[in-house]
């Protein structure tokens, strides 16, 4: 078994991961950072983000306003100290990225342009046409190539966090190319592995979003916070789930039902004058209610509504949202300059994740997390669009610096337990490869998707949640009996799928368990049996922790600094 | 919903532990009308032959993972609609790259080439973040915007006939990326990239096949970047122009 | 340049496969191969010119003899074929070379047309070479 030693072991090479790596080596050029990713970094899911990244830019805007918008968007579940830190760092991070070559769209005078976005009182979303995540990720990846101290381990899959004397000292990761296990040792570990949209059947998320880092932290005893809050993006293509950016509404698009009405204005869905620029949870719920009222269009992949862009004109579409046009033409076969795009809510983002503080530190000393896989929390019960890309940068940088600081101060100690754990992982992997069993990976995955969709969709209630939870637990039992056909060592993607499925099952259990026990409706979590927000009983974060006989649910208080709780009306 | 149709696929397999060389295997896959070739490959992996290895992620044409040869042409399999093909659909890994396993190729040389052109902003004096962004007009952005759209899918490398016989050639994506930075008004690193580009294996390896631009799914037009870079490079080598990106 | 190929791969790999339809199987690769093969007429032109220059050096008689050789029907036919390929090269090169009309060449933004044409000058040179050999020296004038 190979052993690699670095100062910081980073798992995940997306927006947050690369930002953390750069922040760490800039904080201390002597540190060496291992960047362990199951993909080549430029393929990470950050690349699919389209709309933009929010940061105060204009003179008519201020940090308090951004903080308030974010807090209100979160249905007041976000930690206010974290939000304050976030909005302050946001513009600086976006400028830093600009210095690193990110081709932000510009005004005539050469300054960066900003656009309107859902839930934001004023324009503060920086954008690079409508491929912001793509440009940001490539700028970060290409900049990271400058630093020799960032050592990439591409297409390595991390299977366990190695713990020595109660501290995270690295990960066991196997090289997908050779099939051999490596022990990656360091003085701190940063998880930047993204969310887990693939536990649901219809999602904007890529194949790789299987909640790996969340599961790793969970099994190492760290709590997963606010897992019940799953964001449905209002405009995904039916069937494939491909994302049609919120920027299409930001630039003036309309959402219409089968009667041709702009239903967000016509009926009271709580978005008021914001209409199509309401927060995502409200717009998604509105669409579902339209379907329930029979005002949706019927299609082979379920009901949908129309996203109309025709009135924007070809020039504006080509200039501001050309990727939307390309996607509609390729995947739906229509040109949005002339026809409306069919859209429906699809799973997009997980507000919940590894419980961390405002520096990205988790409860386990030496373990940090940032990006979608972490929950600081700045997004609370619902995230505003364009806050996530900024979140990757702000908390990626903070956790990178915090991990660098931690690495400096901690002594590299004994490795014995860590290496033993790595060797057991090697044996476990050996047993998994070509394992005999009666269950099929694809079948369990499909049943998991059905269970989360029916139990834990946009609208939830006690019975279906309980049924969903039971199914997930059953599936976990059946997972122990999966059979694999591919016995090879070299680039065995069946083993990878099996490990990812195990991670998805753990994450799904945390999601449904948190959901069934939150008996109120807040943000993206809507209970038809408890339709109102209940601050008295539920103004707190859910926390799910691993235990041998089943996950334990507890609660954590929300941090409040300056803002009082309000009713969330737009 | 419409019924799935049974389509025939021939997929190149290679298991280095047991196979001496790659062989084609046939599969019959029930495909929906709006499927792409990637959907069929996933159906093979899920339900027919779980030992098939292939790379994929975003399935919307932006991550660059799923490039393969379909009926001999390099294409992103997530954008290759089965309804556009008749008869048996042949799927092979990208040409011009050594095959690791089945449809997975060794892309290390590609990554090395990208790195060798120093694809980052190089400046003598960096501006402080507190001073805000570098001013760049929309016209200046347009100059390099097209070349920044590369998703690193390596289809251009698979199509390039020069790479077929000269694997050391820098390649379209790397040169287009170098040119993107040379054209960026914020960059001052033209001189630093000069050596790598001005080489027989650099820019000058290109012999005008234009296949790269024909297969590029993002319309980057690397052939255009290379020819423009050649003119600039030649004039700089002759000292007619200074080795600077912009005035 | 890159040392990537000097490294032995981590696992045994199958050798890289050539692009499908290369060099003559598919029409675009076929066109490219013919385009690349125009180096042959170029070599013939170079040899003929060298002989001509040598003949010039040797004096009037040698020069006339060389001109006479060139106007022999066999060589005329060969030179005609080579001129055809030279023009084909010129068009094909120009077709890709036109992409040089750049938004920026080094520090010059929106370069003037002559500068862009400078980039496709080789095609003019190549065709001129052939015009000299074939039309003028081949005895057509």
CB contacts < 8 A, B to C, total 150
Catalytic residue, chosen from A135, A249, A325, A527, is A249
Asked if the Cβ–Cβ distance from A442 to B49 is below 8 Å, we say no
- On whether the A2-229+349-419 domain is CATH 3.20.20.70, my answer is no
Domain A421-557: give its CATH code: 1.20.58.100
DSSP conformation class of A362: B
ipTM over 0.95: yes
Dump pLDDT digits (tens) for C15-51: 999 999 988 999 999 999 988 888 888 888 888 888 8
Give the per-residue pLDDT at B64: 96
In the predicted structure, residue C2 carries a pLDDT above the cut 60: no
Residues of chain B with CATH 3.10.20.30: 5-105
Interface test with B, best of A13, A49, A55, A110 (most B CBs within 10 A): A110
Cα gap A234→A43, rounded to integer Å: 25
Question: Are the Cβ atoms of C16 and B109 closer than 8 angstroms?
Answer: no
Q: How confident is the model over A243-264, as pLDDT tens digits? A: 999 999 999 999 999 999 999 9
Distance from CA of A174 to the nearest CA of C (A): 14
pLDDT of residue C120: 65
On the question of pLDDT at C6 being above 60, the answer is: no
Question: How many C-alpha atoms does B171 have within 13 Å on its Cβ side?
Answer: 29
**What is the Cα Rg of chain B in Å?**
21
A570 by DSSP, 3-state: which?
coil
Q: Is B5 on the interface with C (CB under 8 A)?
A: no
Confidence bin at A411 (pLDDT 50/70/90):
confident
Instruction: Give the DSSP letter of residue A39.
Output: S
Mean pLDDT (whole number) for C81-104: 77
* A48:B60 CB<8 A: yes
Rounded to the nearest 10 degrees, what angle do helices C73-97 and B222-237 cross at?
Answer: 100
Flag whether residue C118 sits within 8 Å of chain B, measured between CB atoms: yes
Write the CB contacts of B125 (distance below 8 Å, at least 6 apart in sequence). Answer: none
- Determine phi and psi for A172, rounding to 5 degrees: -90, 125
The yes-or-no answer to whether A2-229+349-419 and A421-557 have a common fold is no
| Top-level class of domain A237-345 | alpha beta
- Confidence (pLDDT) at C116: 66
Subunit contact B143:C109, Cβ cutoff 8 A: yes
B:181-240 residues touching chain A, CB 8 A cutoff:
181, 184, 186-187
pLDDT tens digits, one per residue of B94-135: 999 999 999 999 999 999 999 999 999 999 999 999 999 999
Q: Does the beta-carbon distance from A108 to B59 stay under 8 Å? A: no
pLDDT > 70: percent of chain A: 100
Q: Which chain B residues have a beta carbon less than 8 Å from that of A240?
A: 59-60
Domain spanning B108-237, CATH class: mainly alpha
CB pairs under 8 A between A and C: 7
DSSP secondary structure string for all residues of A207-270:
TT-S-HHHHHHHHTTPPEESTT-EEEEEEE-TTT--B--THHHHTT-EEE-TTS--HHHHS--S
Contact A490 B17 (CB under 8 A): yes
Rounded Cα distance between A172 and A9, Å, is 11
Cβ <8 Å between C119 and B230: yes
Please return the burial class of B137, using the count of CB atoms within 10 Å of its CB with bins 0-12, 13-18 and 19+. middle
C88 touches chain B (CB under 8 A): no
Task: Label residue C7 by pLDDT band (50, 70, 90).
Answer: low
Share of chain A above pLDDT 90, in %: 95
Q: Is A249 a catalytic residue?
A: yes
Q: Is A466 a catalytic residue?
A: no
Give the span between the Cα atoms of A113 and A110, in whole angstroms.
9
**Would you kindly state where each structural domain of chain A is located, as residue ranges?**
2-229+349-419, 237-345, 421-557
Q: What CATH number should be reported for the domain whose range is B5-105?
A: 3.10.20.30
List all residues 6 or more positions away from A565 whose beta carbon is below 8 Å from its beta carbon.
A76, A535, A539
Full-model pTM = 0.94
Is residue B246 less than 8 Å (CB to CB) from chain C?
A: yes
pLDDT of amino acid C99: 73
Give pLDDT, residue B231: 85
In this structure, what token pair is assigned to residue C109? 């933004």
Cis amide leading into B92 (omega within 30) = no
Q: What angle do CA A305, A307, A311 make, to 5 degrees?
A: 140
Confidence band of C139 (pLDDT split at 50, 70, 90):
low
Kindly tell me the burial class for residue A428, based on how many C-beta atoms sit within 10 Å of its own C-beta (0-12, 13-18, 19 or more): middle
Q: Do B106 and C104 touch (CB under 8 A)?
A: no
pLDDT digits (tens, 9 = 90+) for A520-565: 999 999 999 999 999 999 999 999 999 999 999 999 999 999 999 9
| A178 shares contact with chain C (CB less than 8 Å) | yes
Within chain B, all domains assigned CATH 1.10.1060.10 are found at 108-237
pLDDT in tens, A108-164: 999 999 999 999 999 999 999 989 999 999 999 999 999 999 999 999 999 999 999
Q: What is the mean pLDDT of chain B?
A: 94
Q: Between these two residues, B171 and B230, which has the higher pLDDT value? A: B171
Residues 526-565 of A with CB under 8 A from B: none
Is B15 at the interface with chain A, CB within 8 A?
yes
Q: What's CA B28's distance to the chain center, in Å?
A: 30
How far C11 CA lies from chain A's nearest CA (Å)?
A: 6
B19-39 pLDDT per residue, tens: 999 999 999 999 999 999 999
Q: Chain B within 8 Å of A151 (Cβ-Cβ)?
A: no
């Amino acid at each position: 078994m190979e052993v690699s030693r670095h100062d910081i072991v980073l798992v995940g090479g997306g927006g947050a991961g690369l930002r953390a790596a750069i922040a760490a080596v800039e904080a201390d050029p002597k540190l060496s950072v291992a960047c362990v990713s199951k993909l080549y970094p430029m393929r990470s899911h950050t690349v699919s983000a389209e709309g933009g990244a929010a940061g105060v830019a204009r003179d008519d805007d201020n940090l308090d306003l951004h903080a308030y918008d974010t807090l209100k968007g979160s249905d007041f579940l976000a930690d206010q100290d974290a939000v304050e830190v976030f909005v302050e760092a946001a513009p600086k991070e976006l400028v830093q990225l600009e210095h690193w070559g990110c081709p932000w769209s510009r005004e005539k005078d050469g300054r960066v342009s900003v656009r309107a976005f859902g839930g934001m009182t004023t324009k503060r979303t920086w954008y690079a046409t409508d491929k912001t995540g793509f440009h940001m990720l490539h700028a970060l990846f290409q900049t990271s190539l400058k630093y020799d101290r960032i050592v990439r381990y591409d297409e390595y899959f991390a299977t366990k966090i190695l713990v020595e004397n109660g501290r995270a000292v690295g990960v066991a990761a196997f090289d997908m190319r050779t099939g051999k296990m490596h022990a990656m040792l360091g003085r701190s570990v940063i998880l930047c592995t993204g969310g887990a949209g693939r536990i649901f059947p219809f999602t904007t998320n890529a194949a790789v979003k299987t909640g790996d880092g969340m599961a790793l932290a969970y099994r190492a005893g760290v709590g997963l916070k606010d897992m019940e809050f799953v964001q449905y993006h209002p405009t995904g293509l039916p069937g494939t789930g491909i994302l049609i950016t919120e920027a299409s509404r930001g630039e003036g698009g309309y959402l219409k039902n089968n009667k041709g009405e702009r239903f967000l204005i016509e009926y009271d869905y709580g978005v008021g004058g914001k209409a199509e620029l309401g927060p995502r949870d409200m717009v998604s719920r509105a669409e579902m209610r339209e379907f329930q009222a029979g005002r949706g269009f019927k299609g082979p992949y379920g009901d949908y509504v129309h996203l109309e862009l025709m009135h924007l004109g070809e020039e504006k579409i080509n200039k501001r949202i050309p990727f939307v046009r390309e996607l509609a033409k390729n995947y739906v076969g229509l040109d949005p300059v002339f026809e409306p795009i069919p859209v429906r809510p699809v799973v997009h983002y997980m507000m919940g994740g590894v419980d961390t503080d405002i520096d990205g530190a988790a409860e386990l000393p030496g373990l940090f997390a940032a990006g979608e896989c972490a929950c600081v929390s700045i997004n609370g019960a619902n995230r505003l669009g364009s806050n996530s890309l900024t979140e990757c940068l702000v908390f990626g940088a903070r956790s990178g610096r915090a991990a660098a600081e931690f690495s400096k101060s901690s002594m590299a100690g004994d490795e014995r337990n860590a290496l033993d754990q790595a060797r057991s992982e090697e044996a476990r992997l050996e047993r998994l490869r070509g394992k005999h069993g009666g269950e099929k990976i694809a079948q369990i995955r499909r049943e998991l998707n059905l269970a989360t969709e029916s139990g834990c969709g946009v609208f939830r209630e006690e019975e279906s949640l309980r049924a969903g939870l039971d199914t997930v637990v059953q599936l976990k039992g059946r997972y122990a009996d999966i059979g694999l056909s591919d016995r090879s060592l070299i680039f065995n993607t069946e083993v990878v799928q099996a490990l990812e499925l195990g991670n998805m099952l753990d994450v799904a259990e945390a999601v449904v368990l948190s959901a069934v026990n939150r008996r109120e409706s807040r943000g993206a979590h809507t209970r038809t049996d408890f339709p109102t927000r209940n601050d008295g009983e539920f103004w707190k974060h859910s926390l799910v922790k691993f235990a041998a006989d089943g996950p334990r649910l507890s609660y954590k208080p929300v941090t409040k600094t300056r803002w009082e709780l309000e009713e969330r009306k737009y | 919903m419409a019924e799935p149709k049974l389509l025939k696929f021939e997929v190149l397999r290679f298991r280095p532990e047991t196979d001496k060389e790659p062989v084609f295997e046939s599969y019959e896959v029930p495909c929906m009308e709006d499927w792409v070739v990637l959907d069929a490959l996933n159906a093979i992996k899920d339900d027919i032959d779980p030992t098939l290895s292939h790379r994929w992620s975003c399935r919307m044409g932006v991550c660059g993972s799923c490039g393969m040869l379909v009926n001999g042409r390099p294409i992103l399999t997530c954008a290759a609609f089965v309804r556009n093909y008749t008869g048996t659909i042949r799927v092979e890994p990208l040409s011009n790259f050594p095959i690791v396993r089945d449809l997975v190729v060794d892309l290390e040389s590609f990554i090395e080439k990208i790195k060798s052109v120093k694809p980052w902003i190089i400046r003598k004096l960096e501006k402080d973040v507190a001073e805000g962004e570098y001013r760049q007009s929309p016209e200046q952005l347009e100059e390099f915007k097209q070349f920044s759209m590369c998703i690193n899918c390596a289809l251009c490398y698979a199509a390039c006939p020069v790479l077929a016989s000269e694997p050391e050639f820098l390649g379209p994506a790397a040169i287009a990326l170098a040119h993107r930075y040379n054209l960026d008004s914020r960059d001052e690193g033209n001189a630093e990239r000069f050596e790598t580009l001005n080489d027989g294996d650099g820019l000058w390896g290109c012999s005008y096949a234009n296949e790269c631009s024909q297969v590029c799914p993002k319309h980057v037009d690397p052939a255009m970047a290379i020819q423009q870079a050649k003119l600039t490079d030649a004039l700089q080598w002759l000292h007619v122009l200074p080795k600077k990106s912009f005035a | 340049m890159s040392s990537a190929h000097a490294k032995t791969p981590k696992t045994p790999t199958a050798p890289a496969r050539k692009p499908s339809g290369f060099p003559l199987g598919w029409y675009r690769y076929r066109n490219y191969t013919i385009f690349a093969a125009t180096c042959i007429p170029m070599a013939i032109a170079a040899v003929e010119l060298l002989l001509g220059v040598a003949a010039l050096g040797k004096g009037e008689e040698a020069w006339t003899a060389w001109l006479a050789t060139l106007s022999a029907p066999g060589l005329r036919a060969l030179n005609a074929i080579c001129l055809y390929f030279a023009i084909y090269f010129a068009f094909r090169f120009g077709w890709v070379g036109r992409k040089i009309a750049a938004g920026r060449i080094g520090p010059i933004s929106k370069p003037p047309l002559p500068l862009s044409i400078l980039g496709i000058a080789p095609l003019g040179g190549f065709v001129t070479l052939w015009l000299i050999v074939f039309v003028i020296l081949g005895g057509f004038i």
